[in-house]
Chains A and B, each alone.
Chain A
Amino acid sequence: MSISERGIISTADRQRGLIRYGLPAIQVLIFVGVLVAGVGPLLWLLKSGVSTSQDILSGPMQLWPSGIQLKNIPDAWNRVQIGAYLGNTAFIAIGSMISTLFVCTTGAFVLSILRPKWGPVVTGAVLATLFLPGVISLVPLYMTVLDMPLLHVSLQNTFWAVWLPSAASAFNVLIMKRYFDSIPRELIEAARIDGASNLRLFTALILPLSKPIVGVVALLTVIGSWKDYLWPLLVLPDPTLQPISVALPRVAKTTEISLQMSALFLAVLIPVVLFLLFQKQFLRGVGMAGGIKE
């Protein structure tokens, strides 16, 4: 191990008795901790998803349920319509991602590359909203969606009510702008001399160069929309349009516990499988986003 690769604990430390045995012990302890916290609830959910209501209620910590009820899973899929709600969730997340990417790439292109005279004013106005917490606009945003000013249409019970407001994210516009700022001006000048129009400059040079940041913004938007609860609850009262996060608590009130658990299991299974398949890219993207916050 070279010196540059060393961590806090050195090889000399590792030779000493206390650390030699203490460190693996702590490692095992923490491993058990994260295993119980990370996998425990999922395994419990898997077991409960195929148990009878009776078993779940009377002996939730019994290792083996008295009977396995595999039909819970198809029941949850059909009767609780988990599939439809998951579809809504995905549709909402993808739409939010597209609208966010469209707004913040075009916006950042103007503010960073084209730099019109009025650009700094817009940048300042976007930056200002970054410092205002979201709570200030919750109620007026709701009223805006109910009756769009000038257009006088209601977006309630349409996916636009979720897609469009999520695009008004100052954070995404500013990190995109900062990335565009780092693209060498010579490249842009060269493209201009070759006679590229602004639209061509945008689609053929800037967008291909900014794939990493587009990926990060896309990931953050999807995670954000996946976790959102209050906003879709307010603007999508129609049950057939609701994402899984809004539908689950409503469904939970009316279905028996075994079906509820298999519904939860299905809702958890898909993101967990997706995460495990793409964990490397996922964790790298999320970590990169954290670096940007600094």
Chain B
Amino acid sequence: MFQQRTQKSSRSVTTWYRSGGLSSIFFALPLVLIFLYFSWGPIVRGLVLSFQKNNLVAPAEWVGWSNFSYVLTDPQLPQAALNTLYFAFLALIFGFPVPLFLAVFISELRKTGWLYNVLSYLPAVVPPVAAILLWTFFYDPSGAGVFNSILGWFGIGPFAWLNSQTLAMPAIVLEATWAGAGATSIIYLAALTGVRTELYEAAELDGAGIWSRVWHVTLPQIRGIILIMMLLQLIGTFQVFTEPFLFTGGGPNNATLTVLLLIYRYAFINGDFGAATALSVLLAGVLCVLSVVYHFVTRRWSTT
């Protein structure tokens, strides 16, 4: 029995040595250090900070749930939450079908597909900030603005675009769709190359038209990637910052104030880091619940 034990321990020493021993610690060091400093650490710190009063100047003090109650009773929060939902909704109905349609269409073109591909990807190459500055100019509310003069040829407009409370958010979504559609459609295109084409033959023999072939044969086969892209888009749009920040700064009259913009204001304008992290934790919680619910719902779909 004793012998067995030493054998076991000597084996564990050799496996330890063979699995790298000390050198595996050296190899793991960059990852562990980087994640401790810039990922695990800040996440824990965020949870702690949300229960503290902290403005980087005075020493931090514990304040219990008061950051959360402050944030939740802030009259700006309902507006920011609604605006964020509105942005996500608009991006879903406008921004979601465009790249999917584009990808299905491009995959049908054998010879010229690449040209459509390159052209539709071009906006994604433009640095987002440069694109936003350019579009700010396109959205010039005067009659001589680019979009207003184009619409003027057809006798429409002029519109106030970003200066209008009702048009500002759709205008931002339009730019975001323009900027993102090409990049998303490339991902769908890669998925579409895996679609089993012999099913089209069978569907056609069964008398399915072109649209019903797309609907019943093509799309179900890339359902997995469609659902994932939808979730990623939702998570992304809930954290939208750059576009409303640069286009409107949250205005006019807070019509484009998003949750992340509110977090930015709390932290970097008011210097209230406690409130900012409390709101971040709340938003992160909502997003986690969203992805868990989404995961279970879509799993039920894909089994049936």
Chain A: residues with CB nearer than 8 A to chain B? 3-10, 12-13, 19, 27, 30-31, 34-35, 37-39, 41-42, 44-45, 57-61, 99, 102-104, 106-107, 109-111, 114-117, 122, 125-126, 129, 131-144, 146, 148-149, 164-165, 167-168, 170, 173, 192, 197-199, 202, 226-227, 229-230, 234, 244-246, 248-249, 252, 260-261, 264, 267-268, 271-272, 275-276, 279, 283, 286-291, 293-294
Contacts and interface: CB of A to CB of B under 8 A. Distances in A.
A107 B31 contact: yes
B170 interface: no
A80 to B, nearest CB: 13
B198 interface: yes
Given A133-B235, A135-B260, A135-B284, A290 B186 contact: yes
Q: What 7 pairs between A and B have smallest CB-CB spacing?
A: A290-B187, A107-B31, A287-B190, A137-B42, A136-B284, A38-B122, A114-B20
B38 A116 contact: no
A31 B110 CA distance: 15
B63 interface: no
Given A34-B120, A109-B27, A140 B127 contact: no
Given A107-B28, A275-B122, A9 B198 contact: no
A132 B284 contact: yes
Nearest to B179: A227
Contacts of B13: none
B5 interface: no
A249 B30 contact: no
B176 to A, nearest CB: 12
Question: Interface residues of B: mostly helix, strand, loop or mixed?
Answer: helix
B90 interface: no
Interface in B64-108: 102, 104-105, 107-108
B200 A229 contact: no
A249 B34 CA distance: 31
22 contacts: A7-B197, A12-B204, A13-B204, A37-B120, A38-B119, A38-B120, A58-B144, A104-B31, A114-B20, A122-B32, A129-B40, A135-B239, A164-B34, A229-B241, A230-B241, A244-B129, A267-B130, A272-B122, A275-B121, A275-B125, A276-B118, A288-B190
B152 to A, nearest CB: 9
Nearest to A59: B144
Contact of A170 (B39, B140, B213): B39
A170 B38 CA distance: 11
Contacts of B19: 114-117
Contacts of B49: 139-140, 143
Contact of A294 (B107, B217, B225): B225
B129 A248 contact: yes
Contacts of B232: 293
Interface residues of B, number: 106
Given A252-B133, A288-B190, A139 B121 contact: no
Nearest to B33: A103
B38 A167 contact: yes
Interface in B150-188: 150, 178, 182-183, 186-188
Contacts of A12: 204
Contact of A138 (B107, B128, B263): B263
B191 A168 contact: no
A37 to B, nearest CB: 6
Contacts of A139: 46, 49, 263, 267, 273, 276-277, 280
A87 B124 CA distance: 20
B24 interface: yes
Interface in B273-287: 273, 276-277, 280-281, 283-284, 287
Nearest to B105: A30
Nearest to B150: A61
Contacts of B293: none
B56 A286 contact: no
Contacts of A192: 18
A42 B31 CA distance: 41
A35 to B, nearest CB: 6
B268 interface: yes
Nearest to A107: B31
A111 B238 CA distance: 33
B273 A129 contact: no
Contacts of B189: 287
Contact of B27 (A114, A137, A143, A234): A114
